[in-house]
Chains A and B, each alone.
Chain A
């Protein structure tokens, strides 16, 4: 009796978890299915399995608009995201190393400022930043989108790496210092290799957030040749209802593939990274 109750309890829980999981995935599966349906079927054939399969949507969508294909938009998004990733992992880890391991004047003040900037809404600095970038004639370039990452602007990642470095045994540093290792060498030879999981977490987050960052891309880019995937999708989409839905769905699916793949490959680092930043 007791075992039966325990068994049925966990069975119910399993069913519930699977049901919620399916409900969660449903919109994504619906998007995927719709991308293979002929346009007239998308809103009439509500089943997840297309009754007629077609690849036309992908062909039509990929063609893009005004003579520019989505190959260009994907390339642009990839370029911006990779530059952002490199900037974040290099400069944030530099700052994190200084905060976690080095002694210097005003350290407490700088550290407190770093913490405060994590909670600062983007919008407070938005207008002056835009004006600065516009004065520098950087509108319609990618500089406003990736340059801040090369200045360790995402303090969130500095904090993530500070926490991580604090977990690396200090004895390693000490013995290396005794062996005559300079502070710079210490970072590159010892800390950086051990920091790899945190660097990967930062890289994945940065890639996904930059890839999806519709707001900045919309503000800084108006030249179609420079459009990113997000801007391309938004341009294909006409809220008044005359969009080529099939093409839109197909491109939407493609736009989600890079971030999904990266997530699936690195999910362990990623999910553990979220868990640890949330904890301490």
Chain B
């Protein structure tokens, strides 16, 4: 009788699990298993050659009390996230607003603006960026027209972050496409009604567009933050590949990579990975928790 009930509740149990099989194997072998493994390794000293040696919380203790590279890389990564995420999203929203109404050949513009997001992840573009920001590169040539003597962006540790940030902002296209789709969803009669009531463009933006876009902003914000924390290729290629000069390109993921795959300190790298997970989880947690105060769902339901 129990099986009959189960049969009724889950009529496709067997077929469903057949379809889910590859994903389930992946979930256990590539995600859950490795997560437990990484948690275990973070409490060990392990160099791939000899067996992992249990050292308790020593890795974490070193990281938090005696590792200035960790502190520096964390600060640098935060700085990168704080500079690049808001600027990229503001720029994306700005261009999406400009493209939204009455532009002919919208498809062409959408494509052109998207191309940086398409190409930006490659090693080739990171190399181009490095050259553009070189001491006698394009940017300094451009600044020269205005009589500004540009700094050595790549060679000077104080300035290296700006080329990397600008590469990230340059790739605003994917966020823009999402904003554009969001703007298209806003009913035109909202604007018409507010126009009748005498609302200007600025007021319309803050009272209609922005609130109606908050679900999309929410999505873009979460995705951008998660991705930015994990930025690697630009830091590796625009910097010298070892975090230099003077740790100015030592992003968190680069440090993790160097610890794990250059110094083969797999335990330490795992500990760094878990700290990163916690930081990202806290950030997304905060955004989720505050979302009910600022994310507005057009169907009248505030929050989810």
* Interface residue ranges of B213-248 to A (CB < 8 Å): 215-216, 219-220, 222, 226, 229-230, 232-233, 236-237, 240-241
Chain B residues closer than 8 Å to A115, beta-carbon distance = none
Whether A117 is near chain B, meaning CB under 8 Å from some CB there, is yes
In the complex, what distance in Å separates the CA atom of A212 from the CA atom of B120? 9
A214 & B233 in contact (Cβ 8 Å cutoff): yes
Chain A residues closer than 8 Å to B141, beta-carbon distance = 46
Which listed residue (A43, A122, A128) contacts B41, Cβ 8 A?
A128
Which listed residue (A24, A219, A255, A259) contacts B113, Cβ 8 A?
A24
Chain B residues closer than 8 Å to A167, beta-carbon distance = none
Distance (whole angstroms) from the CB of B296 to the closest CB of chain A: 15
- Of the stretches B25-33, B53-61, B68-76, B204-212, the one at the interface is B25-33
In the complex, what distance in Å separates the CA atom of A202 from the CA atom of B174? 15
User: Main SS of chain B's interface residues?
Assistant: helix
* Interface residue ranges of B5-43 to A (CB < 8 Å): 6, 9-13, 15-27, 29-31, 33-35, 37-38, 41
Interface size class, chain A: 35 or more
Given A30-B128, A151-B23, A239-B241; A256-B122 close (CB under 8 Å): yes
Chain B residues closer than 8 Å to A275, beta-carbon distance = 177-178, 180-181
In the complex, what distance in Å separates the CA atom of A253 from the CA atom of B128? 10
* Interface residue ranges of A76-134 to B (CB < 8 Å): 91-92, 94-95, 97-99, 102-105, 107, 110, 113-114, 117, 119-132, 134
- Of the stretches A10-18, A52-60, A62-70, the one at the interface is A10-18
B98 & A16 in contact (Cβ 8 Å cutoff): yes
Chain B residues closer than 8 Å to A113, beta-carbon distance = 27
B30 & A151 in contact (Cβ 8 Å cutoff): yes
Name the residue in B26, B35, B181 with the highest tally of chain A Cβ atoms < 10 Å from its Cβ.
B26
Which listed residue (A98, A212, A252) contacts B20, Cβ 8 A?
A98
Chain B residues closer than 8 Å to A253, beta-carbon distance = 124
Identity of the chain B residue whose Cβ is nearest the Cβ of A276 in the assembled complex: B181
B26 & A152 in contact (Cβ 8 Å cutoff): yes
In the complex, what distance in Å separates the CA atom of A119 from the CA atom of B284? 9
Distance (whole angstroms) from the CB of A250 to the closest CB of chain B: 10
Which listed residue (A219, A251, A279) contacts B185, Cβ 8 A?
A279
User: Please, what's the 1-or-0 string for B98-121, where 1 marks a CB less than 8 Å from any CB in chain A?
Assistant: 110011000101111111101101
Chain A residues closer than 8 Å to B110, beta-carbon distance = 271
Chain A residues closer than 8 Å to B153, beta-carbon distance = none
User: Please, what's the 1-or-0 string for A1-40, where 1 marks a CB less than 8 Å from any CB in chain B?
Assistant: 0000000001001101100110011011011000000000
Chain B residues closer than 8 Å to A251, beta-carbon distance = 124
Given A94-B22, A279-B182; A127-B266 close (CB under 8 Å): yes
Distance (whole angstroms) from the CB of A275 to the closest CB of chain B: 3
Which listed residue (B18, B30, B230) contacts A123, Cβ 8 A?
B230
Which listed residue (B102, B129, B219, B274) contacts A27, Cβ 8 A?
B129
Interface size class, chain B: 35 or more
B269 & A127 in contact (Cβ 8 Å cutoff): yes
Whether B138 is near chain A, meaning CB under 8 Å from some CB there, is yes
Whether B186 is near chain A, meaning CB under 8 Å from some CB there, is no
A94 & B111 in contact (Cβ 8 Å cutoff): no
Distance (whole angstroms) from the CB of A34 to the closest CB of chain B: 8
In the complex, what distance in Å separates the CA atom of A103 from the CA atom of B277? 32
Distance (whole angstroms) from the CB of B143 to the closest CB of chain A: 13
Name the residue in B9, B23, B127 with the highest tally of chain A Cβ atoms < 10 Å from its Cβ.
B23
B10 & A17 in contact (Cβ 8 Å cutoff): no
Whether B136 is near chain A, meaning CB under 8 Å from some CB there, is yes
Identity of the chain A residue whose Cβ is nearest the Cβ of B26 in the assembled complex: A151
Given A46-B138, A121-B276, A278-B178; A183-B15 close (CB under 8 Å): yes
In the complex, what distance in Å separates the CA atom of A132 from the CA atom of B20? 23
Whether A260 is near chain B, meaning CB under 8 Å from some CB there, is yes
Chain A residues closer than 8 Å to B240, beta-carbon distance = 239
User: Please, what's the 1-or-0 string for A198-215, where 1 marks a CB less than 8 Å from any CB in chain B?
Assistant: 000000000011011011
* Interface residue ranges of A214-234 to B (CB < 8 Å): 214-215, 219, 230, 233-234
For the complex of A and B, 8 pairs with smallest distance between CB atoms: A151-B26, A252-B124, A275-B181, A278-B178, A128-B37, A128-B34, A104-B16, A125-B34
Contacts A/B (CB < 8 Å), 16 sampled: A24-B113, A30-B128, A103-B13, A103-B16, A119-B226, A122-B230, A124-B274, A125-B35, A127-B260, A128-B41, A131-B48, A214-B123, A255-B122, A256-B124, A260-B118, A278-B216
Could you tell me which B residues sit within 8 Å of A by CB distance? 6, 9-13, 15-27, 29-31, 33-35, 37-38, 41, 48, 95, 98-99, 102-103, 107, 109-116, 118-119, 121-125, 127-132, 134, 136-138, 141, 170, 174, 177-178, 180-182, 185, 215-216, 219-220, 222, 226, 229-230, 232-233, 236-237, 240-241, 253, 256-257, 260-261, 266, 269-270, 272-274, 276-277, 280, 284
Instruction: Please give 11 more A-B residue pairs, beta carbons under 8 A apart, in addition to A21-B109, A234-B123, A263-B118.
Output: A24-B170, A28-B116, A98-B15, A98-B20, A126-B38, A132-B29, A151-B26, A219-B257, A233-B124, A237-B237, A256-B125
